Amino acid sequence: MSDNTQAAEGRVLMKGNEVLAEAAMRAGCRFFFGYPITPQTELAAYMAKKLPQIGGTFLQAESEIAAINMVYGAAAAGARVMTSSSSPGVSLKGEGVSYMAGADVPGVIVNVERGGPGLGGIQPSQSDYFQATRALGHGDFYMPVLAPSTVQEMADLIYLAFDLADEYRTPAMILADGMIGQMMEPVLLPPARDPESLPAKPWATSGHRGERAHNVVNSLYLSPEKLEDTNRERFARYEEMRARHQRQELMLCDDAEIVLVAFGAASRIARTAVRDARAKGIKAGLLRPITLWPFPTKAIDEVVGAGAKRFLSVELNMGQMVEDVRLAVNGRADVSFYGRTGGVLPTPEEVLGQIERLATGEERLTAGEMSNGSARATVMGSVLPQPTDRKSSYERGE
């Protein structure tokens, strides 16, 4: 990248993965530990080139498991530190993230999602929503999860992720996807912070210098009562995050009767579909969660109160965030789902078709449609595109 990335003035054209790296360094990150995997490798490559130039440390570990434990160690010493990977690699980091949560150690984990399960594919996906918001590792814990939908938000949200991690002494995650990571857009880079100006971390194992007692960073509590007390205190911090840090974008929701809920790459497609629906006289709107955890329940309350009658969750998976939408709506409006998976992206026309179906009160395909080669499966009131040729490769003689 040219030297113009060092100036906060003016926009520069950058790839999403590289913006994450550049913005992390500007936020004060001086340590990065990772392991290459598509579609996030550009992030690590950018760090490998740039981080040593500003006195930082880049290390390609022998595995994702090693990388996350290096993050744990650097964070315990008080550093701003980050790791990145993509879906199967993040799974390998789960144990270390749980240790960080259990030891109240801040750090940022970036997941540029790809299709799954298993090795899946390298195309964009949002199928790690449950993992990020429910069960990245074992035990009772949550962490803030931020979902950028533009390259600009890649820069803005990495700053927020580091700040939330430090304020609440927790791991934090950027949940992006291969589309945003590989996309190039103009971006206004934030001004660089001096790591020395960041708030002190008196709990860190940074050397007592004879001035204080030894600090211990640990996630092991052999006393059940002590472990319970620690978990309860941690959950009090989670409740504060729920109260203070729900973030979302609302588009045309003031009078919307049908509200789409979508994040990341899917929200870009949903935005176009909402505009097209408005052009046809349908009162549609978009609620885009920026924090996937804490989920923006208060915004959904406001939209329901304003008169929304139907919600449509649009996702690049088989139906995950829709469960949080249903919980937040709590029976006060109908909730449907439309998704594509395996790296397939829905078109705005597909999503518009679902909006029109809801607008006419038609929730399921007619029998005629089911028999003309455009068959879809319905799951819990949801509509899922299906391949028209259901024969196996063996049956087709391949």
Please give the single-letter amino acid code of residue 365.
L
pLDDT confidence band for 63 (50 / 70 / 90): very high
How many CB atoms lie under 10 A from the CB of residue 117?
10
Report how far apart, in Å, the C-alpha atoms of 114 and of each of 39, 155, 182, 200 are.
Answer: 7, 21, 12, 37
Domains 3-206+217-244 and 249-385 share a fold: yes
pLDDT confidence band for 308 (50 / 70 / 90): very high
pLDDT confidence band for 363 (50 / 70 / 90): low
Handedness of CA 158, 163, 168, 169 (dihedral sign): positive
What CATH topology corresponds to 3-206+217-244?
Answer: Rossmann fold (3.40.50)
pLDDT in tens, 169-188: 999 999 999 999 999 999 99
Cα–Cα dist 157/161, whole Å: 6
Cα–Cα dist 78/201, whole Å: 6
pLDDT in tens, 224-273: 999 999 999 999 999 999 999 999 999 999 999 999 999 999 999 999 99
The closest alpha carbon to 39, from 80, 90, 5, belongs to: 90
Does the pLDDT of residue 398 top 80, yes or no?
Answer: no
Cα–Cα dist 33/68, whole Å: 7
CB 107 within 8 A of CB 75: yes
Provide the mean pLDDT of the chain: 90
- Extents of the domains making up the chain: 3-206+217-244, 249-385
Cα–Cα dist 196/132, whole Å: 31
Q: Is CATH 3.40.50.920 correct for 249-385? A: yes
